[in-house]
Amino acid sequence: MSMRYNTVQTSRCKRCAMQFVRPSHEQKAFDSLLRRLSVYPFRCQLCRYRFYLMQQGGMPETTTERREYLRVPVMFSVTFSGEKCDGEGTVSNFSIQGCTMESTSRPESGSRLSLTLRTQEYRPPVTIDLAVVRSGLGKRFGLEFLKVRAGDEERLRRAYYKQASAESAA
């Protein structure tokens, strides 16, 4: 199967040297200027570093993905608490920067939450100190991670890389 998540396997991150980068969204007029020179923005999916690479023949093909960080499917139990809503649920997919969660307790868009992700593999649980609800439909809602403890961020990166690598190989 081809790379489902459209990572660019021949390119390495300029910071962490991992081969898990993908094209980044153009953010500035400077990006448009560089595009004329066949230089495009890329983003490491693990360390979040944004950098530029020369790509002869144009930008690699990507799906119409709005997210800067691609999400991978998982099944993590989660507890969450916020100003107006507490509950339990399941994380169905995640990235370094956010996740989709399902729960019978549905916080409103814009709500700020703290999360505790429980997995079979990672003990103690991973704690997200601050996440904000960005979208929702029914029992599902999307969260953006704003503050993750340093040690937990590294464990989250490893879990993401492991899951994304497994999905890519499938």
Q: Tokens at residue 2, please?
A: 């081809």
Note the pLDDT tens digit of each residue in 41-95. Answer: 888 877 878 888 888 776 655 545 666 777 889 999 999 999 888 999 999 998 8
Residues of the chain with pLDDT > 90, as a percent, come to 30
Domain map (residue ranges) of the chain: 1-66, 72-169
The enclosing H or E element of 167 equals helix 150-169
pTM: 0.72
The three-class DSSP label of residue 25 is coil
Note the pLDDT tens digit of each residue in 3-23. Answer: 344 445 568 888 888 777 878
Asked whether 119 and 159 are in contact (CB, 8 A), the reply is: yes
**Answer CATH for 72-169 from 3.60.20.10, 3.40.50.300, 3.40.190.80, 2.40.10.220:** 2.40.10.220
Transcribe 98-166 into DSSP letters.
EEEEE-SS-PPTT-EEEEEEE-SSSSSPEEEEEEEEEEEETTEEEEEEEEE-HHHHHHHHHHHHHHHHH
pLDDT of residue 168: 66
Note the pLDDT tens digit of each residue in 115-133. Answer: 999 877 777 899 999 999 9
